[in-house]
Chain A
Amino acid sequence: DAKTTQPPSMDCAEGRAANLPCNHSTISGNEYVYWYRQIHSQGPQYIIHGLKNNETNEMASLIITEDRKSSTLILPHATLRDTAVYYCIVRPLYNFNKFYFGSGTKLNVKP
């Protein structure tokens, strides 16, 4: 199963864009990239997912490189409430019920 690599922590100034990278160099052709976040002491919250094309929703944008070996989650205007651990997940092709959460990136949004 494809694994992901994320930096353990990042800082971002409030109001600026937060760009969170993820490497998934062993991803297979039909595996999706998901992003979740977890605010302290709460359950993970779905943010966005994609396959090949860039995606945008009301929370964030997802940029996937052409070779699909890496992706970037973009929070366009980070707020203090965006401080959380962000997980990049590659969903296995034939075990579509299994989400493998790694250690994630702790995003610290500072005033």
Chain B
Amino acid sequence: DVKVTQSSRYLVKRTGEKVFLECVQDMDHENMFWYRQDPGLGLRLIYFSYDVKMKEKGDIPEGYSVSREKKERFSLILESASTNQTSMYLCASSLAGQGVETQYFGPGTRLLVL
């Protein structure tokens, strides 16, 4: 079974703090993704990566950056956390290719910024 793990289930931070959210997958997937999920808005893609050190912006990249130094690990960074970044953050991974790639999700990190 594919396993995607996230470093924390719950996180509380203060405005202006730098926040690191880490995601690890154990299935040698090339693609990794970060989403945020908010009530009434569904899941929105922040960034994704299709290879080590490669990244592409999703739909809402503002205020976020990412890092992928190793294939299995994809980090989301909030440079200066703000209250509007309070949300559920979900990481996902998938195989590369132009066929049908299923995304597998981690359990999520619920971030509260005070």
A83-109: CB near B (< 8 Å → 1, else 0) gives 000010000000011111111100000
Among listed A16-24, A41-49, A74-82, interface-contacting one: A41-49
With A43-B108, A104-B42 as contacts: A96 and B98 at CB distance below 8 Å: yes
Residue B90 CB within 8 A of the other chain: yes
The dominant DSSP class at the B interface is strand
Q: Please report the number of residue pairs spanning A and B whose Cβ atoms sit closer than 8 angstroms.
A: 49
Q: Which of A32, A44, A97, A100 contacts B48 (CB 8 A)?
A: A97
Contact at A98–B100, with CB atoms within 8 Å?
no
Contact at A103–B108, with CB atoms within 8 Å?
no
- A residues near B91, Cβ cutoff 8 Å: 43
CA separation between A102 and B42, bound complex, in Å? 5
Contact at A42–B107, with CB atoms within 8 Å?
yes
- A residues near B34, Cβ cutoff 8 Å: none
- A residues near B69, Cβ cutoff 8 Å: none
With A97-B33, A97-B48 as contacts: A44 and B42 at CB distance below 8 Å: no
Q: Which of B31, B58, B105 contacts A43 (CB 8 A)?
A: B105
Contact at A46–B103, with CB atoms within 8 Å?
yes
Count how many chain A residues have C-beta atoms less than 8 Å from C-beta atoms of the other chain. 19
CA separation between A103 and B91, bound complex, in Å? 18
B89 to chain A, nearest CB (A): 10
21 A–B contact pairs at CB < 8 A?
A34-B102, A42-B108, A43-B106, A43-B107, A44-B43, A44-B90, A44-B105, A46-B102, A46-B103, A49-B100, A87-B42, A97-B31, A97-B101, A98-B45, A99-B45, A100-B42, A101-B35, A101-B42, A101-B43, A102-B42, A103-B40
Interface set of A (CB-CB < 8 Å, partner B): 32, 34, 41-46, 49, 87, 96-104
